Each structure stands twice: as C-alpha cells, then as structure tokens.
Amino acid sequence: MLWVLKCCMFLGVLPTFVSSLDFVYHNTHAVESFLREINANFPSITYLHSIGKSVEGRDLWVIVIGKYPKMHTVGIPEFKYVANMHGDEVVGREILLHLVEYLVTNYKTDPVISRLINNTRIHILPSMNPDGFEASNRDCLFSGGRYNKNNYDLNRNFPDAFGTDAVSIQLETRAVMDWIKQETFVLSANFHGGAVVASYPYDNANATTNGISPDDDVFIHLAKLYAKNHATMHQGVICDSTSRFSNGITNGYTWYAVKGGMQDYNYIYGQCLEITIELSCCKYPNQTTLAQYWNENKVSLIEYMKQVHMGM
Ligand code: GEM
Ligand code: ZN
C-alpha cells in the first residue's frame, strides 16, 4: 500500500482510494476499519451507521451507498443485502465487502454502476451475527457459531405469521426489525451457506397455505435471475445430501419449513420482497477460494440489484 502513496506523492496527486480489499476473512475489527475507510474516501455516496448491537456489544454496521445515502428520496427505491445471520456462514459476509468496494470504485467510471448508485439507495449489512462469526470454529458443516451469543438461531427468531408461538426476540433480530420498519425496503436478499441455491418465500405455511405466496411468479423470476447469472447455481449444484435444485431455485417451504425466518418477515411485515441465497456447499471454506466466490456471484449481485427498478 505504501508504494501507492509514494507513487502518488511523486506524481503530485492525492490518492482518493489507496487500499484494495484482500481475499481473506475479515474479523469484526477489520470489517469496521474497511467500512470506515470506504466512508472516509467516498463521503458523498456513502453513509455508515450502526443499526444496533449484538448480545456481546458488537455494532451491526450498515453501509448505505447512493447519490443521497443519508435519507430516503422520493423516486429512489431502498434495496438491501444482509449476510452472516448464521455466524459460521461466512462467504456472503466477504463478498458483500467486495461488492461495496466494487460499487464505490466504479462510480462515475462504469455507466451501469453509476446509474445504479444514482437511482438506488443500497443498504449493505455484511454481518447480522458478528458474535457468531467470532465464535465460529471454521467448519464446513454446522458449527456453534451459527447461533447468537444466547444460542438463538436468528433465522428462527422473527415473528411468524403462520404460527402463534412467542419467541424471545434477540437484540440482533430487534435491530433488523426496527431497521425494516424505519426504511421502506422493497427488495432484498439474505446470504447463507451450506448449499448452492436461490430459495424464495414462503419458508413456512399453515393448514390453509402450501408455502406459495401471492407473488410467486415475481419470486420465481427473482430467484431464477440470481441463479442464471451465477457461474454454477443454475445448473443445480449437489452438496452432499441435498437434492439437485432444478434451475438452482427452490420454494423455501418445499425444501423444508423454517418458522420465524427473516425472509417471510420481510415479505409479510415489511412489504419487502426478500429471497435467500445459499452461496457455498462449505459454510466456512478456505479463504483461498474467496476470489472464486466473488467472481461466481458478481454478475448476479449486480443484476439482482437492478431488479429493484422493474416496477413492483
Ligand atoms: C436455512 S435458510 C434457507 C432454507 N429455507 C427453507 N425454507 N428451507 C435455515 O435457516 O435453515 C439454511 C441455512 O441456514 O443456510
Ligand atoms: Zn444459514
């Protein structure tokens, strides 16, 4: 990094952005430093804020990217990406950091990215469960880091329209619920690991519904769009015991029921269309594979964001 600075000093120019993000895992401290640096270097198109704290007191940082990042503007839709709600599912956390870097560094040079940033307010929460991430023992399969510090699965912790069981809403869940209430999100995706598929609502059902939502056609379009633009997802990737998902998509409830999930909460209580993206067979893969995951998902991530303008 130093040589960049020296070179810029020699040329007599001030660098606007000197570091580039490495393909390694970033702990809580490194994520925060990265986001602060981005915000300091791109103050006019970014806004960094914490939507609350985890049980162990870690901030839940959200970086907003847009022409008017600090507030809602009439005619500019609100979009979000959330990763790492299961602390041991870490690919999404890293690729969202790369997405942040990609967006801000291509503003004003890449016409597609410039248009996206000018016309969309993009909210990115790289980690909804930083305590789980720090506690994870870096396994491919399940690890205790899935849960928050109080041992709650955050994807079973939202109010569920299909059941009546009371849940003890955790700090991380509450922060996301308040955030959803505060902003008028219309489109979202939530990143997980342990499979490779785009899963869409509903995740749960009751005696009179079969897991199919009123916007089934729109959700299928969105899930297919993500899978189609992904390097391999659309082929139906088989991870160990999972079945082959036709076109790389599935209805959540058909796959297996999830009660109290974030996806259904967004749709039912937040009027926000959210799908769940499973990014990797291995939940915590070796960091030498991170560049590959970024490359596999980059086009999907951009194309999916553009869908916020399809006029829902
Ligand atoms: C999931 S979320 C995706 C699967 N959804 C449904 N309805 N089967 C979970 O929370 O169990 C898987 C994951 O953790 O990645
Ligand atoms: Zn998960």
| Predicted structure pTM score | 0.94
The average pLDDT across 177-205 equals: 98
Adjacent-strand bridge partners of 80:
123, 188
Annotated domain spans of the chain: 20-309
Atom of ligand 1 nearest to the CA of 251: 7
Cβ–ligand 1 distance for 252 under 6 Å, the answer yes
CATH of domain 20-309: 3.40.630.10
Looking from the CA of 76 toward its CB, the CA atoms found within 13 Å total 19
Going by alpha carbons, the residue nearest to atom 11 of ligand 1 is 258
Closest CA to 290 of 90, 131, 146: 90
Whether 11 has a pLDDT exceeding 90, the answer reads no
Closest CA to 132 of 110, 151, 147: 147
Provide the token pair at 249. Answer: 């998509």
Whether 158 has a pLDDT exceeding 90, the answer reads yes
Closest CA to 154 of 129, 189, 118: 129
**Which ligand places an atom closest to the C-alpha of 194?**
1
> Mean pLDDT for the chain?
93
Integer Cα distance of 31 and 161 in angstroms: 34
Whether 18 has a pLDDT exceeding 80, the answer reads no
Tens of pLDDT, residues 25-70: 999 999 999 999 999 999 999 999 999 999 999 999 999 999 999 9
Positions marked active-site: 278
Cβ–ligand 1 distance for 86 under 6 Å, the answer yes
Q: What is the DSSP letter of 169?
A: -
Adjacent-strand bridge partners of 232:
none
Cβ–ligand 1 distance for 107 under 6 Å, the answer no
Whether 88 has a pLDDT exceeding 60, the answer reads yes
How much is the pLDDT for 241? 66
Spacing, Cα 91 to ligand 1 middle (Å): 15
How much is the pLDDT for 167? 84
Q: Using an 8 Å Cβ cutoff, are 42 and 104 in contact?
A: yes
CB-proximal residues (5 Å) to ion ligand 2: 86, 89, 192
How much is the pLDDT for 166? 78
Place of tokens 């248009």: 115
Whether 6 has a pLDDT exceeding 80, the answer reads no
Cβ–ligand 1 distance for 199 under 6 Å, the answer yes
